[in-house]
Amino acid sequence: MTVSTMETLPKMPDNRTYLDYNASAPLLPEAKDAMVQALETSANASSVHGEGRAARAVLERARGAIAGLAGVGVDHVIFTSGASEAAQLALSPIYHHPDGEIVFDKLYVSAVEHPCILSGGRFEQPEIIPVTKEGVVDIAAFAETLSNRSTEKPFLAALMLANNETGIIQPVAEMAALVHAAGGFLLVDAVQAAGRVPVDMASLGADFLILSSHKIGGPQGAGALLLGDKNIKPTPLIAGGSQEHRLRAGTENVAAIAGFGEAARLCTGRLDHMQEMIYVRDKFENQLTEICKLAGNSHGSLTIFGQQTRRLANTTCFAVKGINAETALISLDLDGISVSSGSACSSGRVEPSHVLKAMGQESDIARAAIRVSCGWNTTAADRQKFLEAWASYLRRLT
């Protein structure tokens, strides 16, 4: 008897409204096509025969697209299983240069980094750089920290270009100048920024940069570490074969990388619409404000996190005091709308987000945070559907 496993997989109805791109963007049809084509060449990209060379060609085409996105040479791109792995690879206290080792005595990370950076990788314990209440890294506080360093040894600092929860854009170039002047190196997490703002490594002053495929419309399970100087390399995390310039052993996931490459290629074109997207976001936020006002005094006022700060056009993170985000999420889900809350469930308790806490937000506001994040397939009707469902949710609470 043959059992079809496909039948048992849950399939989402077509009429759902997906507004959770910062968690994972839907797969672009072009990326899917590139993956299906690559799957036809199911050979090892390190093999010398024709099939192997075909797989290698797929890999190198994708590498070219990712290098192009960040304005670096193809031999600066190291493929990994995702940005978390790329971060762990980059967070190495020992780097290698043809002239010898570079040993970092310390890792500094901003308080709003993604957990894959906050964890510190192979460093013992990162030192946290605070952010202002606007959610922007406190450059003055960090300058003070650096001026009190009692050593001239090199160090590593990490700063994200755009925050996954709030969309707040960090002053990376300014940070890079400060870090370099003090003899340090800067790792930039450009996972949420890619395809939404330029991620040119030279303009950012990034020494190392990480990217993730599934945030830009590629498949899950592919990412990359990009090296600003191809001669300055971290200690490998996975040792073995000589793949990826001996920096990441293991047979490359050719199909996933093909999809990643195609998504990266399409990303560049989307930047032209940035200004238009900011207008659309602001209009959406104005409508949201009106809805919350109309709902009256039974709930607290609306906070849109980072509203006065430079932010990604695709992200709106907001809270209405007194509202439980988890309950709201369930209600919206029942209405066919997928969004995220700003809190994380750990050990059975819903914890307010570390990002909002670092911005000095009170726990009850942080617990009420809801994130709406849009992308390549979001329409005006999707935003409208969210606003209507939100208005109806608020009405039901009164």
What positions carry a catalytic annotation?
345
Separation CA 114–CA 82 (nearest Å): 13
Helix, strand, coil % in the chain, rounded to nearest 5: 40, 20, 40
Q: Does residue 255 contact residue 61 with C-beta atoms inside 8 Å?
A: no
- Name the CA dihedral angle for 324, 330, 336, 341, rounded to a multiple of 10 degrees: 50
Separation CA 154–CA 150 (nearest Å): 12
Does 353 engage in binding with ligand PLP (CB under 6 A)?
A: no
**Cα Rg of the chain, angstroms:** 22
Does 126 engage in binding with ligand PLP (CB under 6 A)?
A: no
Considering the complex, state which of residue 82 and residue 184 has its C-beta at the smaller distance from ligand PLP. Answer: 82
Name which position in 17, 84, 110, 314 contacts ligand PLP (CB under 6 A): 84
DSSP 318: E
Per-residue tokens: 47:
């093999």
Name which position in 41, 88, 170, 212 contacts ligand PLP (CB under 6 A): 212
Does 20 engage in binding with ligand PLP (CB under 6 A)?
A: no
Instruction: State in angstroms the smallest separation of the CB of 160 from ligand PLP.
Output: 5
Does 192 engage in binding with ligand PLP (CB under 6 A)?
A: yes
Does 56 engage in binding with ligand PLP (CB under 6 A)?
A: no
Does 25 engage in binding with ligand PLP (CB under 6 A)?
A: no
Does 160 engage in binding with ligand PLP (CB under 6 A)?
A: yes
From 150, 171, 151, 149, select the one nearest 160 (Cα to Cα): 171
Separation CA 355–CA 340 (nearest Å): 14
Instruction: State in angstroms the smallest separation of the CB of 172 from ligand PLP.
Output: 13
Instruction: State in angstroms the smallest separation of the CB of 211 from ligand PLP.
Output: 8
Using CB under 6 A, which of the segments 6-14, 78-86, 312-320, 333-341 binds ligand PLP? Answer: 78-86
Does 371 engage in binding with ligand PLP (CB under 6 A)?
A: no
Per-residue tokens: 49:
């025969």
Name which position in 34, 59, 77, 116 contacts ligand PLP (CB under 6 A): 116
Does 82 engage in binding with ligand PLP (CB under 6 A)?
A: yes
Separation CA 115–CA 191 (nearest Å): 13
Q: Which residues pair with 311 in a beta bridge?
A: 168
Residues 6 or more apart whose Cβ sits within 8 Å of residue 252: 45, 59, 79, 243, 244
Angle at 124 between CA 114 and CA 154, to 5 degrees: 90
Per-residue tokens: 158:
């990490």
Using CB under 6 A, which of the segments 2-10, 189-197, 277-285, 369-377 binds ligand PLP? Answer: 189-197
Q: In what order do the strands lie in the sheet with 107-110?
A: 77-80, 223-227, 208-212, 185-189, 156-160, 107-110, 127-129
Using CB under 6 A, which of the segments 81-89, 336-344, 368-376, 388-396 binds ligand PLP? Answer: 81-89
Using CB under 6 A, which of the segments 5-13, 79-87, 327-335, 356-364 binds ligand PLP? Answer: 79-87
Does 224 engage in binding with ligand PLP (CB under 6 A)?
A: no
Does 83 engage in binding with ligand PLP (CB under 6 A)?
A: yes
Instruction: State in angstroms the smallest separation of the CB of 83 from ligand PLP.
Output: 3
Q: Does residue 370 contact residue 341 with C-beta atoms inside 8 Å?
A: yes
Q: Does residue 398 contact residue 296 with C-beta atoms inside 8 Å?
A: yes
Name which position in 164, 340, 361, 373 contacts ligand PLP (CB under 6 A): 164
Using CB under 6 A, which of the segments 43-51, 77-85, 232-240, 361-369 binds ligand PLP? Answer: 77-85
Instruction: State in angstroms the smallest separation of the CB of 396 from ligand PLP.
Output: 31
| Residues that bind ligand PLP in the complex, under the rule CB under 6 A | 82-84, 114, 116, 160, 164, 189, 191-192, 212, 223
